[in-house]
């Protein structure tokens, strides 16, 4: 008797699991259901991926200011960073050369003048380092916003308040 009860319990549990059920196509998961071409509208992707990752652009601009900007298509901004890099590097080298010249002369050079030249070298070196960091940060942000619409405009409302708007084309 116990055996018969056990067999009936197993059969009662297995029969619903083995039964073939018909799947309603309207309730099927989306990946199994074939869309009707007449009901489908092709929508372009919302975000177009940038040519390089934001971190990759930042590292490139950290190595050579303007490199990350040029990859994202901001060539004028990249050229400005590269120009400033060349200017500050030239001024660092010029100031270091003048400082060594003043140190080599030795006699007749005021200590205050030598200290001023050392300060000038440090100032240009800080601007050089700041240019690298600013270029890396700008490349990182511009890569995140590289597909942002460029038609952003500022206007004055009739009551005199400022307003910003973006044109959306259909």
* Domain boundaries, given as residue ranges, for the chain: 54-147
Q: Which residue has the higher pLDDT, 79 or 23?
A: 79
Q: Where are the alpha helices (DSSP H) in the chain?
A: 2-18, 54-63, 67-72, 75-105, 111-144
Confidence of residue 111 (pLDDT cuts 50, 70, 90): confident
The confidence score (pLDDT) of residue 170 equals: 56
Would you state the structure tokens that stand for residue 35, as one six-digit string? 């869309």
Would you state the structure tokens that stand for residue 42, as one six-digit string? 């092709």
- Which pTM value belongs to this model? 0.61
Cβ neighbours of residue 124 closer than 8 Å, sequence gap 6 or more: 88, 91, 92, 95
Strand partners for 164: 154
The confidence score (pLDDT) of residue 161 equals: 81
The confidence score (pLDDT) of residue 98 equals: 93
């Amino acid at each position: 008797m116990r055996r018969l009860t056990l067999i009936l319990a197993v059969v009662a549990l297995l029969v619903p699991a083995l039964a073939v059920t018909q799947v309603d196509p309207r309730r099927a998961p989306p990946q199994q259901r074939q869309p009707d071409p007449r009901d489908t509208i092709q929508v372009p992707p919302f975000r177009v991926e940038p040519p390089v990752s934001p971190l990759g652009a930042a590292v490139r601009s950290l190595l050579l200011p303007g490199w990350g900007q040029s990859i994202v298509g901001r060539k004028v901004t990249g050229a400005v960073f590269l120009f400033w890099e060349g200017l500050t590097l030239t001024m660092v080298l010029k100031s270091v050369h003048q400082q060594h010249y003043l140190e080599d002369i030795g006699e007749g050079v005021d200590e205050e003048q030598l200290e001023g030249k050392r300060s000038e070298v440090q100032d240009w070196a800080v601007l050089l380092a700041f240019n690298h960091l600013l270029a890396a940060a700008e490349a990182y942000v511009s890569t995140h916003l590289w597909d942002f619409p460029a038609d952003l405009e500022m206007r004055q409302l009739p009551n005199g308040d400022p307003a910003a708007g973006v044109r959306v084309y259909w």
